[in-house]
Amino acid sequence: MPLPEILFRNLVEKSLTEDLGSGGDITSDRLIKQEVEISAGILARQQGVLAGDMVAGLTFDIVDSNLSIDWKVSDGQVLSSGTIVAVIVGAASSILKAERTALNFLGHLSGVATATNEMVVAVAGTNAKICCTRKTTPGLRALEKYAVRVGGGVNHRYGLDGGVLIKDNHIAISGGVSNAFKMIGDIGPDIGVEIEVDTLEQFEEALSCGARSILLDNMDNATLSEAVKTNNGKALLEASGNVTLDSVGAIAATGVDYISSGWITHSSPVLDFGLDLAF
């Protein structure tokens, strides 16, 4: 589902201000007459999954609403190197003013979608779903979580108000797993409750407290397999901690339900796009 523009319009406006500053594009303003029009293409320079077409499109529109943008592919589609993503027609100076900001959004979000999709492919044939975390770029969470969905992943809670996640520091401060559960109490059916554990002893204690969702933090695959066996379908199990593209397949094979990765949002490589006049 496309993101509502209200979630990112202000971000795009601030990003354009960051790039144009108070003086605008002084190079284009001196070299290009306002009446000069061009046709330019956004091209993918490597293979990946497209994400962020609505953000890039809005960037051009804010700079110049008279620009015409024809998207040849849409979010979620797989790109090959050389794929023409969009064709933009209009004032040359306007296109160049919006170019870098638009491509920055497109490259970053497509990178997140591509990294997510690579993990989704790596766990194919298992029951595991790839999900993201709150390790997002400040100000970009809505967009990055959208890109994860475009890549075939699922979203963990959006923020701290999206559900209860009892983490290690909560457990330490509240005096243990059982005490933490007692203090949370009956929070109601509409708010999910998950607890993070890092040992089998904590895991078994969480199960005995009636936990329905348990995050298994930084456990090796043998320990994950033992937890899955002990669980026997009682709770949803999420594996997390140092998940990489190389390790995710073996983690999925242990039988966990979810695998959360911070890498897909905080360290995924940018997908390379260019804007060319001849394409």
Over residues 264-269, the mean pLDDT reads 96
**Banded pLDDT at 242 (limits 50, 70, 90):** confident
Rounded to a whole number of angstroms, the distance between the first and last alpha carbons of the chain is 31
Sequence-ordered list of residues with C-beta below 8 angstroms from that of 57, at least 6 positions apart, any chain:
69, 71, 86, 102
DSSP code string of 133-189: -S---TT-HHHHHHHHHHTT-B---SSGGG-EEE-HHHHHHHTSHHHHHHHH----T
Q: Tell me what percent of the residues of the chain surpass a pLDDT of 70.
A: 99
pLDDT digit string, tens, across residues 169-193: 999 999 999 999 889 988 877 788 9
Looking at per-residue pLDDT, the higher value among 93 and 1 belongs to: 93
Catalytic residue selected from 25, 144, 205, 217 = 217
Token pair 């059982």 is found at 178
CATH architecture under which domain 5-113+269-276 falls: Alpha-Beta Complex (3.90)
pLDDT digit string, tens, across residues 62-96: 999 999 999 999 999 999 999 999 999 999 999 99
Catalytic residue selected from 61, 135, 157, 272 = 135
**Taking a C-beta distance cutoff of 8 angstroms, is the pair 48, 271 a contact?**
yes
Residue 166 phi, psi dihedral angles, 5° rounding: -80, 110
Catalytic residue selected from 45, 61, 64, 100 = 100
Structure tokens belonging to residue 198: 């890092």
Catalytic residue selected from 45, 129, 134, 167 = 167
Catalytic residue selected from 196, 205, 238, 257 = 196
pLDDT of 152: 98
Question: Measuring CA to CA, which residue among 103, 104, 167, 150 is closest to residue 264?
Answer: 150
Question: Active site includes 217?
Answer: yes
**Banded pLDDT at 151 (limits 50, 70, 90):** very high
How much is the mean pLDDT over the chain?
Answer: 96
pLDDT of 2: 81
Number of residues in the chain: 279
Residue boundaries of the structural domains of the chain:
5-113+269-276, 120-266
pLDDT of 279: 53
- What are the CA-CA distances from residue 207 to residues 22, 200, 219, 233, 263 (Å)? 59, 10, 17, 11, 29
Rg (CA), the chain: 23
pLDDT of 190: 79
Structure tokens belonging to residue 64: 């110049």
Structure tokens belonging to residue 66: 């008279």
Question: Active site includes 167?
Answer: yes
Over residues 20-49, the mean pLDDT reads 95
> How many Å apart are CA 98 and CA 18, to the nearest integer?
12
CATH for the 120-266 domain, from 3.30.465.10, 3.30.710.10, 3.30.450.20, 3.20.20.70: 3.20.20.70
**DSSP tag of 234:** S
